[in-house]
Chain A
């Protein structure tokens, strides 16, 4: 998996490419640890190139949600099966609302 990123002022867009599985989820976690710094107020996770998410990948997203505080986070372009997992786990409304 590779991770593309783009910073525009206080908005950070992260675009993982490939499978977000038990091995690669750690890469996403590390990337967010390094780059989702306090001056970033809007985090956009572009899932257009993610074809699979594992339970570890979901855990990474949950841990980001838990540490958002007043900042905003949005997941965009998730494919139907990934969006379905977000929906079933109750995360979709958080990703769309925050």
Chain B
């Protein structure tokens, strides 16, 4: 297909390949037919805008959005493209990159130097700088909520430099980017001493405040992937940066392979199945790969969890997505689902299969019981010795964590792990698995890992947080604990 041969896998025209991040396996190039692109636009763009219109004050249309997405795209010898689908936009806009930039910035603050960046460009600076310049922003659109948190933390850490640059109309020399990008960006910037003075007043006592409603007083909504494994970032967003006055829209289930659900409304982690986007089948997760038990959308039962199997508009046939979804209810006559966990991202030492959701619930409840907030977490199933052991690593910016005894935290984690995954109990009581160990990571270690992945070429938009660690991740994180 990549050579341009037609009628391979699908009869639809296919001009693009999505490149996956490789964070959950080897990077893949996945065909995206023109028909699938149109379907994506219909559900994501039209439905997404309808929800905003229905649920927000109409004044949200008066301002732009702080958009954090970015991606790159390159042409193959055949003329087809590979990379991030949104980065293709510049190809379609008459007038090329400059015209695309103007169109992007009608609706969003970030210029094309950040949305379609060159390698080794400090896009965090560009996104935040252009967002801070605009007081009238009404929304924030983020692929994953982790990206939104990452950028707001960047502002908290670098507000002095950003404000100085806004005042003078400059870009600090330490900011990494090509000379060409710097020149182009400087042409889009004027000194803004009044805005700088306003921002300086907001941050006069430092950045340890919920600064978002002060910096952008008209901001009404934040949209992004913020359920299940990303819920910790949703909490950080509210507790550290926004407070409770912003409407949150949680994106549906979207992947390089396609779009499977759309958001059902504000602050609802469930999405409505996008029935027309693909032919969907559902394998009950307790069916143990018995495909005679697979069902279609009309046979779904509320309260049951299924693995999603799709046949899409780009040639994937009965493709196992590896996503487990819980049926939570109905929207009119269409089922609503919530993403639960990656089927192949469970951890096991015997056969207890602890899911990412169980890990999250364990950490949430243990930290809640001891009265500390947490910002990130990950776990490793250590089988290098017998019996094996789960090793939890929790990152907390909460100063109260220093007063928590480690054995107290470990007892709480064990208690809640036994609740979250009842299958853990038997091997634990038989002595086949040790009680879990828990250590605190140094603050912002997950951010560091993310930055390093980006520095080494990973796509910002697709990076997912580390939850169930692989060997190399374990060696990295276990070296960066607080002890």
**A residues in contact (CB < 8 Å) with B:** 22, 54-56, 58-59, 62-63, 65-67, 81, 84-85, 88-91
Quick check: is B456 within 8 A (CB to CB) of the other chain?
A: yes
Quick check: is B93 within 8 A (CB to CB) of the other chain?
A: no
Whether A84 and B448, one on each chain, are in contact in the complex, defined by CB atoms closer than 8 angstroms, is no
Q: Which B residues are in CB contact (< 8 Å) with A90?
A: 452-453, 455-456
Contacting A89 at CB < 8 Å: which of B122, B442, B452? B452
Contacting A54 at CB < 8 Å: which of B472, B475, B480? B480
Q: Which A residues are in CB contact (< 8 Å) with B472?
A: 88
Contacting A55 at CB < 8 Å: which of B176, B442, B453, B475? B442
Quick check: is B98 within 8 A (CB to CB) of the other chain?
A: no
Whether A84 and B174, one on each chain, are in contact in the complex, defined by CB atoms closer than 8 angstroms, is no
- The range of chain B's interface size is 20 to 34
Most buried by B among A54, A89, A90: A89
Whether A91 and B122, one on each chain, are in contact in the complex, defined by CB atoms closer than 8 angstroms, is no
Q: Which A residues are in CB contact (< 8 Å) with B120?
A: 66
Report how far A94 CA is from B174 CA in the complex, Å: 19
A and B contact pairs by CB, cutoff 8 A, 8 listed: A55-B443, A55-B445, A62-B448, A62-B451, A67-B174, A81-B479, A88-B476, A90-B452
Give the nearest-CB partner of B449 in chain A. Answer: A89
Within B332-357, which residues are at the interface with A (CB < 8 Å)?
none
Whether B475 and A88, one on each chain, are in contact in the complex, defined by CB atoms closer than 8 angstroms, is yes
Q: Which A residues are in CB contact (< 8 Å) with B475?
A: 84, 88
Whether B479 and A85, one on each chain, are in contact in the complex, defined by CB atoms closer than 8 angstroms, is yes
Within B450-478, which residues are at the interface with A (CB < 8 Å)?
451-453, 455-456, 472-473, 475-476
Most buried by B among A58, A67, A84, A91: A58
Report how far A56 CA is from B480 CA in the complex, Å: 10
Report how far A65 CA is from B122 CA in the complex, Å: 13
Q: Which A residues are in CB contact (< 8 Å) with B476?
A: 85, 88-89
Report how far A54 CA is from B481 CA in the complex, Å: 8
Q: Which B residues are in CB contact (< 8 Å) with A85?
A: 476, 479-480
Quick check: is B439 within 8 A (CB to CB) of the other chain?
A: no
Report how far A88 CA is from B470 CA in the complex, Å: 12
Give the nearest-CB partner of A91 in chain B. Answer: B452
Report how far A67 CA is from B175 CA in the complex, Å: 8
- Chain A's nearest CB lies how many Å from the CB of B474? 9
Contacting B448 at CB < 8 Å: which of A55, A65, A66, A81? A55
Report how far A1 CA is from B350 CA in the complex, Å: 45
Contacting A62 at CB < 8 Å: which of B442, B443, B445, B455? B455
> 4 other contacts beyond A54-B480, A55-B442, A85-B476, with CB at 8 A cut-off?
A58-B452, A59-B448, A62-B448, A85-B479
- Chain A's nearest CB lies how many Å from the CB of B401? 14
Q: Which B residues are in CB contact (< 8 Å) with A63?
A: 174
Q: Which B residues are in CB contact (< 8 Å) with A88?
A: 472-473, 475-476
Report how far A66 CA is from B176 CA in the complex, Å: 6
Report how far A66 CA is from B479 CA in the complex, Å: 23
Report how far A67 CA is from B456 CA in the complex, Å: 15
Q: Which A residues are in CB contact (< 8 Å) with B134?
A: none
- Chain B's nearest CB lies how many Å from the CB of A71? 14
Whether A67 and B442, one on each chain, are in contact in the complex, defined by CB atoms closer than 8 angstroms, is no
Give the nearest-CB partner of A90 in chain B. Answer: B456
Q: Report the 5 A-B pairs with minimum CB-CB distance, sorted nearest first.
A: A90-B456, A88-B476, A66-B176, A89-B452, A55-B442
Whether A84 and B455, one on each chain, are in contact in the complex, defined by CB atoms closer than 8 angstroms, is no
Report how far A46 CA is from B443 CA in the complex, Å: 26
Most buried by A among B122, B174, B456, B479: B479
Quick check: is B444 within 8 A (CB to CB) of the other chain?
A: yes
Report how far A10 CA is from B363 CA in the complex, Å: 51
Report how far A55 CA is from B446 CA in the complex, Å: 9
Report how far A19 CA is from B77 CA in the complex, Å: 51
Most buried by A among B444, B475, B480: B480
Give the nearest-CB partner of B446 in chain A. Answer: A55
- Chain A's nearest CB lies how many Å from the CB of B481? 10
- Chain A's nearest CB lies how many Å from the CB of B470? 11
> Given A62-B451, A62-B452, A89-B476, are A54 and B442 also a contact pair (CB < 8 Å)?
yes
